Structure formats: structure tokens, C-alpha cells
């Protein structure tokens, strides 16, 4: 893991490894747009090509063969501009073998820039089910999470990756600490308020909860947006609490505005102000738990 602290790196490039859809606002399309709008140069390595979000209907899935993906990764590893990368953000994988290539990329970026941040969004399932093969989810758990400075699982992914059943905030905190990364941002964590959702940031020394109202029928892509917003906030030098509040406000505001306009996707291009200057109110509290000893 890196030793990134707020404002520790001036490198503005971010390497994104995620899915690519032709139409819609999910996966890499969300991550890349948000990061570029926030002023970052983005390197984008697609893991799979889809016509649209699979929830919208059947479509062809194009996954490059593992040898081809490895070759692209090796090209990036030898790039002379690698020291410009201040963060790596990985998401949906198209095959289990891609995890090893991503791990090599992370290692190469850290050699070129020891302060680079690695955020792993262990995209693998939701609502009680995996939507990737178990072998792919296991590769993320076993190969990528141990390398990550930050992980951003949803509640189901946290349960699957940790092997724990979670029904309370305390259980979510314990599972997050068992996961490995120094920062684990649990989206869709158990909320204290009714009709609310919680983003729970767990570190070895503290836990911070950011809650806001639940927006029914939210479009897909919120996890990708959270990963992008939180990465950008950390690279901007914000402390954990400020980064969490800004990221949660960005996602809440984007979702609320998109739903209000009855959009089936996140309206990233239309509502860019939500990325740059979110105004949504998010309640934040420090959780009194038992932090790990140093």
C-alpha cells in the first residue's frame, strides 16, 4: 500500500480499469467523465465492452482474450509518462486473469510514483447475488483487495468479500476492518435514519457515517461515481470526513436530479455542477466504535 496523505502528490493523471458500455452511464463511462470534469487526465483500460448495462436487456459481451489484456497492461507498465499517475481506480473485471494484470499495473505505478493511491471498487454483485462468476469475484478479493489503499464495496460485496453476515452498523464496521485496506468506504451500509442510505467510511482509527435520504429507483452507476468522486477528493488533499461528505453529496445530488427528470441514466453531462460544486445536504457523524490499536 502507498503512504498517501492529503496533498501528498501533485500527479494529476488517473488510471481507470473498468467496463465500457456503448450507451449509458455505468462503469468506465461514469468514472472517466467524472474524473475528467474534475480536472484529471485519465488513462482508461477497458476490461469488457457491452452495448449497455446488462439490466437493460441481453447484449453481446466482448472480453478481450487474457493475452491481449496482458499485452496492453505491459505497454502501460513501460510507458515513460507513468510517474504522472497519482491514482489507479479499478472496477469491473471481465475475467479472473485480469486481476493479475491489474496488480502488475498497480505495482508499476507505485514504483514510478510511491505516493500513488490505489482504489479498488470490488464490483461483483448486489441485492444478494453475484453478477460476475465466483472465480472473478475471488480474484478481486484475493489479488486486488490486499493491494488497495481504499476499497469501495456495496453492502453485499462487503459481505461476500469478508465472508461475514452483516445486519448492523457494528457488523459492517468489523467486516470492513477485516477486509484489509486502510480505508473502506461501504456504500449502502445500514442507516440509522428511516428512509435513508448510509456511506460508511471505516479506517483503523475511526469510522465516519454520511447519511442522506433514499432516492427510489436510482439509476445504475452510483458506485462508479462514488469511487471517482472519493478518489478526486483525496487527491485534492481533503481529509477523510470532508472527502466523504463531498463524495456523498455529489452522488446524492446527481441521483436526485436525474430521478427528478425521470432519466434512466445518471445525467452526468446535463448536471455537471453536481460534480464540481455539489450543494446537497448530507448529515455526517463520527461513530463511537472500538478502533484497532496501532
For residue range 214-235, list pLDDT tens digits in order. 898 899 999 999 999 999 999 9
Specify the pLDDT at position 53. 80
pLDDT at 7 (0 to 100): 39
pLDDT above 80 (res 286): yes
Using pLDDT thresholds of 50, 70 and 90, give the confidence band for residue 1.
low
Adjacent-strand bridge partners of 201: 185, 208
For the cut 70, the answer to whether the pLDDT of residue 293 exceeds it is: no
113-136 residue pLDDT tens: 999 999 999 999 998 899 999 999
User: pLDDT > 70: what percent of the chain?
Assistant: 95
Confidence of residue 10 (pLDDT cuts 50, 70, 90): low
Residue 50 φ then ψ, to 5° = -130, 150
53-62, 91-100, 283-292: range with highest mean pLDDT: 91-100
Query: How many angstroms separate the CA atoms of 105 and 120, rounded?
Result: 13
pLDDT at 251 over 70: yes
The pLDDT of residue 291: 66
**pLDDT band at residue 8 under the 50/70/90 scheme:** very low
Q: Which of 80-84, 89-93, 145-149, 186-190 has the lowest mean pLDDT?
A: 186-190
pLDDT of residue 56: 75
Report the C-alpha gap between 210 and 201 in whole angstroms: 8
Mean of pLDDT values over 191-216: 91
Share of the chain above pLDDT 90, in %: 83
**Exposed / middle / buried, residue 180 (Cβ in 10 Å: 0-12, 13-18, 19+):** middle
Position 294 scores a pLDDT of: 46
Yes or no: domain 13-286 corresponds to CATH 3.30.420.10: no
Amino acid at each position: 500500500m502507498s503512504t498517501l496523505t492529503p496533498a501528498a502528490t501533485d500527479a494529476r493523471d488517473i488510471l481507470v480499469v473498468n467496463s465500457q458500455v456503448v450507451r449509458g452511464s455505468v462503469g468506465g463511462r461514469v468514472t472517466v467523465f467524472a474524473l475528467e470534469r474534475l480536472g484529471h487526465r485519465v488513462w482508461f483500460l477497458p476490461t469488457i465492452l457491452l452495448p449497455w448495462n446488462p439490466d437493460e436487456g441481453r447484449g453481446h459481451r466482448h472480453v478481450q482474450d487474457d493475452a491481449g489484456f496482458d499485452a496492453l497492461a505491459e505497454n502501460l507498465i513501460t510507458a515513460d509518462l507513468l510517474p504522472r499517475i497519482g491514482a489507479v481506480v479499478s472496477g469491473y473485471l471481465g475475467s479472473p486473469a485480469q486481476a493479475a494484470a491489474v496488480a502488475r499495473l498497480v505495482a508499476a505505478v507505485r514504483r514510478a510514483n510511491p505516493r500513488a493511491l490505489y482504489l479498488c471498487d470490488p464490483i461483483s454483485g448486489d441485492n444478494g447475488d453475484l453478477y460476475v462468476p465466483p472465480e472473478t469475484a475471488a480474484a478481486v478479493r484475493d489479488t486486488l483487495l490486499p493491494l488497495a489503499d481504499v476499497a469501495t464495496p456495496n453492502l453485499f460485496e462487503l459481505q461476500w468479500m469478508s465472508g461475514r453476515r452483516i445486519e448492523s452498523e457494528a457488523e459492517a464496521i468489523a467486516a470492513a476492518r477485516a477486509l484489509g485496506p486502510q480505508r473502506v468506504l461501504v456504500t449502502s451500509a445500514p442507516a440509522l435514519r428511516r428512509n435513508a442510505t448510509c456511506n460508511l467510511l471505516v479506517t483503523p482509527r475511526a469510522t465516519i457515517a454520511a447519511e442522506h435520504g433514499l432516492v427510489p429507483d436510482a439509476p445504475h452507476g452510483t458506485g462508479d461515481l462514488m469511487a471517482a468522486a472519493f478518489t478526486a477528493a483525496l487527491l485534492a488533499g481533503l481529509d477523510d470526513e470532508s472527502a466523504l461528505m463531498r463524495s456523498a453529496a455529489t452522488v446524492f445530488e446527481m441521483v436526485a436530479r436525474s430521478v427528478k427528470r425521470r432519466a434512466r441514466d445518471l445525467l452526468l453531462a446535463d448536471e455537471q455542477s453536481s460534480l464540481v460544486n455539489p450543494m446537497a445536504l448530507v448529515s455526517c457523524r463520527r461513530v463511537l466504535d472500538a478502533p484497532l490499536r496501532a
